[in-house]
Amino acid sequence: MRVLFIGDVVGSPGRQGLREAMPALREQHAPDLVIVNGENSAGGVGITQRTANDLFESGAGVITSGNHVYRHREAYDFLDAEERVVRPANYPQANPGRGHTVVEVAGMRVRVINLSGGVGLRVARSPFDTVDSILSHHEQDAVIVDFHAEVTSEKVAMGWHLDGRVAAVLGTHTHVPTADGRVLPGGTAFISDVGMTGSRTSVLGVKPEQALRSLITQMPTRFETAEEDVWVMGAVVEVNERGLADSFAQVMQPVR
């Protein structure tokens, strides 16, 4: 089974870029399952039913999220109803949505787990304890983890923590692709951050002049999503019948 994982889709430029790139990505990688992080898909911050449906129409089988998942209140009922969209599992249990889901692809039951890092981000429980609990209470053929975390040390630690127990631990949130992608000794594909799907002529998807103004002046600044030089970033993981990774490949594809 082959999984194509797409990093944080930023605003309408990211959604449109993914839509345009997906035919070529499918031809090149022939994925059985496409997982897309959509937590920045609505205007660069958050997710809505409309932007989620846009990602589904582009080919997403599961949508993961992160710390901006609750930015738009109108999405709360949708998060409760749509089983293919997940939010961090270590958020309060009463919050809208679910932290993991199962899809059946290529004759396998694949569990997709979304976790938030606990360093620099607000969570209700340790991501390490949370993922251990999920794995001990549920059965599946393979597990893909989107670890939406701030610091690389925590992401690397999660990779080693889950090595040999899940097919992949794929980092998101920081929007900058890292150079440490590989299959760990126990058979878990890992990368600290797959990058973002959006404008590279930007600061993490934001127009550069606005990000600079905010950083230099320390004053409130209205951010807008940058539109130029859109790239799709992500990873492809080949998963074997044991539910572990045979290979890992980084995806960095310019759209326009």
Q: Where are the domains of the chain?
A: 2-254
Q: Residues 68, 100, 148, 173: which is the catalytic one?
A: 68
Residue 145 forms beta bridges with which residues? 113, 169
Comparing CA positions, the residue from 85, 146, 79, 83 lying closest to residue 115 is 146
φ, ψ for residue 197, nearest 5 deg: -110, 100
User: Is 68 a known active-site residue?
Assistant: yes
How much of the chain is helix, strand and coil, in % rounded to 5?
Answer: 25, 30, 45
Residues 46, 62: Cα–Cα separation, whole Å? 16
Residue 129 forms beta bridges with which residues? none
CA angle 104/57/49 to nearest 5° reads: 95
pTM of the entire predicted model: 0.95
Q: Going residue by residue through the chain (256 aa), what tens digit of pLDDT does each one get?
A: 999 999 999 999 999 999 999 999 999 999 999 999 999 999 889 999 999 999 999 999 999 999 999 999 999 999 999 999 999 999 999 999 999 999 999 999 999 999 999 999 999 999 999 999 999 999 999 999 999 999 999 999 999 999 999 999 999 999 999 999 999 999 999 999 999 999 999 888 889 899 999 999 999 898 989 889 999 999 999 999 999 999 999 999 999 6
Domain 2-254 top-level CATH class: alpha beta
Residue 159 CA from chain centroid, whole number: 15
